[in-house]
């Protein structure tokens, strides 16, 4: 990774977003860039799954604010196209996403990679393993 100016963190579930935002902030600080936190909800769905929208949005806002990030929440029936447009609009160099367990043909990260402009990198953050307590 070199010449990273703008980092976009894609969040989906409130319980997992903090680790993704934290990683995006680490990269931003390393390269002195700008951090964008993005959540795209399909039209007709709750913003963040089954959780209460207000609580979930407040949590996302607080997490983004804590790490000095810009938060964008949008509704769209074409999530991948919306992410592509936001990547172009914000001149994104790197996208941080959470690990996906979907098989190759349904893997959202792989589908997104195919849509992105050349030069945009994706970093996948693995699911954190709970520490064992002895």
Question: What are 91-105's pLDDT values in tens digits?
Answer: 999 999 988 776 666
Asked if the model's pLDDT at residue 34 lies above 90, the reply is yes
Asked if the model's pLDDT at residue 133 lies above 90, the reply is no
Which H or E run contains 2? none
In a domain, 23, yes or no: yes
In a domain, 131, yes or no: no
**How many domains does the chain divide into?**
1
In a domain, 120, yes or no: yes
Selected residue with higher pLDDT from 121 and 133: 121
Residue 115 backbone phi and psi in degrees, to 5: -90, -20
- Name the H helices within the chain: 14-31, 53-66, 79-89, 108-115
CATH number where 34 lies: 3.40.50.620
Give the angle subtended at the CA of 121 by the CAs of 115 and 127, to the nearest 5°: 100
In a domain, 33, yes or no: yes
Residue 41 confidence class, pLDDT cut points 50, 70, 90 = confident
- Rounded mean pLDDT of 14-36? 90
Can you give the pLDDT at residue 3?
Answer: 76
Selected residue with higher pLDDT from 87 and 42: 87
Asked if the model's pLDDT at residue 134 lies above 50, the reply is no
Strand partners, 23: none
**Domain hosting residue 22, numbered range:** 6-125
């Amino acid at each position: 990774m070199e010449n990273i100016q703008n980092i976009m963190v894609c969040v989906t579930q409130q319980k997992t977003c903090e680790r993704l935002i934290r990683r995006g902030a680490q990269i931003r600080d390393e390269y002195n860039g700008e951090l964008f936190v993005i959540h795209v909800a399909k039209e007709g769905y709750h913003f963040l799954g089954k959780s209460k929208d207000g609580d979930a949005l407040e949590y996302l806002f607080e997490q983004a604010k804590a790490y000095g990030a810009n938060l964008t929440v949008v509704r769209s029936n074409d999530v991948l196209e919306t992410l592509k447009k936001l990547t172009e609009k914000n001149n994104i160099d790197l996208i941080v996403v959470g690990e996906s367990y979907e098989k190759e043909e349904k893997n959202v990260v792989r589908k997104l990679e195919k849509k992105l402009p050349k030069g945009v990198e994706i970093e996948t953050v693995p699911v954190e393993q709970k520490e064992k307590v002895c």
